[in-house]
Structure 1
Amino acid sequence: MFKKIIFALFFSSLTVSTSALAAKKNDGSHIQPDNYYPRVKIETTMGDVVVELDRRRAPITVNNFLRYVDKRSYEDTIFHRIVPGFVVQGGGYNTDFDGKSNFPDIFNESGNGLTNDLYTIAMARQNEPHSANRQFFFNVNDNESLNPGRDWGYAVFGMIVEGEDVVDAMSEVETEYSLRLSANNVPIEPIVIKKVTVLPPL
C-alpha cells in the first residue's frame, strides 16, 4: 500500500512538472526550437518581407517575436511610424490606431553584438531600457545612434533577407501628424501587415 502511495505521489509530481514545462515553453521557444536562424515572412499591403532571426545572439527577443507570430497577433496591425532615412516601425496598432495587447516587457539584448545597420530588424521600446514588448522596426540606414554606448541601445534580432525594396518603398510614403496617436510621421495611406508566418527551415 505504501509503495502505491509513493508511486501515485511521484506520478502526480511528474504530471505537474510536465504541465509547468509545457506552460513555460509557450514563450516562443517551442517554435522550431532547434533552429537558431528561423525565417519569418511578413506579408503587407505594399509587398512581402522575409527576415532571418538570430536566436543564437538574441534568444529572448527572437522567442518573444515568434510568440506574437504564433498567436497571429501581428495580423491587421500597421506600420505607424515612418521616418525616411531612419526607421519603419510597426506591430503595435490596428488600422483604427487602437493599441494591441501585449505580453510582458522583455530584457533588452542590445549588447548582443548585433548593430542597427541598414535592413536589420530591432525592437522598439520606451525610454526605460527594458520596456520592449511587441513593436519592432526596420532600420533603413546605418543607425549608429541606436547602438549601445553609455546608455542602453535598441536590440537587433535579425535582418531582412528578401524584400529590401519593399521596406525602401515604405520609407518613402507620405506621412502626416496623427491626432489619434498624437505623433508625427504617420503614413497617410495605412501600411497593413496582413499575415506573418514562420517559414520551414532551410
Structure 2
Amino acid sequence: MRKLAALAVLVSSLSACGGAGENVTPPNPPTPGPAPQLSADLCYLMDTTMGEISLAVDNTHTPVTGNNFASYVDEQFYDQTLFHRVINNFMIQGGGFTTGMVNKPGRAPIVNEANVGFSNLRGTIAMARTNVPNSATSQFFINTLNNPQLDYSASSVGYAVFGQVIAGMEVVDQVSITPTAKQGVYSDVPVVDVVINSVTKISCPAG
C-alpha cells in the first residue's frame, strides 16, 4: 500500500503545473503487436547550465508531438526556461517556467499520442500534462529510470513518449540529483536554477 501511494505521488508530479480536474475516460486496449522502434527524424542540442543534452525526436510515429516540440524550438520558446521539477530516480521536467518560477504560457494543447506503443524507458523524453488527457503544451520530462507505470494501457491514457536522449545522459543524471526544495506552491524545485540556455536543431547521427 505504501508503494502504491508513493507511485501515485510520482505520477501526479507530471502535471504541467497548470492544474485541471480529473477528466479521464479509460482508453481502448492497446493494439496487440510489437512496439515500434523510436526513429530519429529531428535532432536537437539542448544547452543547459549543467551541460549539453542531445535529443532525437520521432516525427514518424508521433507527428503531432514531434511537430509541437519543433515549433517551440523554432520560436526559441525554451531558451532561458528551467528544469523546474526534479525527482531523483524518476524524471526531470522542464519547458514551462523561467527564473523565479514564473509561468511561461504555451500554445493550445495537443492530442495525447501515448497510444502508439512507446514506453517511458530511461532516457526517453515525453510530454507533461494535467489530468486531462489532451492537455500537453510546452512542458516535457526526461525519464531517468524505466517508468512503465506512465505508459498507455487499457486503464491509463499514459504520457506520450516522442523521442530519446542520444548523448548527454550523464548531464540528465546530474540534474536529477541536484538539491531541491519547495518554492511557493511548487515542490521539487532545484535550489540552484538549472537553466535551458537554448535548444537548437542539429544533424541526426547517421544510421
Report the TM-score range of the alignment, normalised by the length of the smaller protein.
Answer: 0.7 to 0.9
- Residue 52 of structure 1 corresponds to which residue in structure 2? 56
* Of 175, 178, 200, the match for 2:180: 175
Contact 2:117 2:152 in 1 (8 A): no
**Gaps (5+ residues) in structure 1?**
1-34
Contact 2:40 2:56 in 1 (8 A): no
Structure 2: distance between partners of 1:88 and 1:105 = 21
SS of corresponding position for 1:111:
helix
Show the 5 A alignment for 1:127-146: 127-146=131-150
Shift of 1:151: 1.7
Structure with the greater alpha carbon radius of gyration: 1
Residues 72-127 of structure 1 show CA distances to partners (whole Å, capped at 9, x for unaligned) of 00000000100000010001001121111211000000011111000000000000
Structure 1: distance between partners of 2:74 and 2:80 = 14
* Of 95, 102, 119, the match for 1:98: 102
* Of 186, 192, 195, the match for 1:192: 195
RMSD: 1.2
The percent identity for this pair of structures is 39
**What code does the residue aligned with 1:97 have?**
M
SS of corresponding position for 2:102:
coil
SS of corresponding position for 2:114:
coil
Show the 5 A alignment for 1:43-82: 43-82=47-86
Structure 2: distance between partners of 1:184 and 1:200 = 36
Shift of 1:198: 0.7
- Residue 5 of structure 2 corresponds to which residue in structure 1? none
SS of corresponding position for 1:51:
strand
Kindly report structure 1 stretches of 4+ aligned residues shifted beyond 2 Å.
Answer: none
Shift of 1:193: 0.3
| Count of residue pairs brought into register by the alignment | 166
**What code does the residue aligned with 2:117 have?**
G
Structure with greater proportional helix content: 1
Structure 1: distance between partners of 2:204 and 2:46 = 16
Q: TM-score, normalised by structure 2?
A: 0.78
SS of corresponding position for 2:166:
strand
Show the 5 A alignment for 1:25-44: 37-44=41-48
Deviates more, 1:143-152 or 1:165-174: 143-152
**What code does the residue aligned with 2:191 have?**
I
- Residue 17 of structure 2 corresponds to which residue in structure 1? none
Shift of 1:169: 0.4
Shift of 1:148: 1.1
**What code does the residue aligned with 1:187 have?**
P
**What code does the residue aligned with 1:109 have?**
E
- Residue 163 of structure 1 corresponds to which residue in structure 2? 168
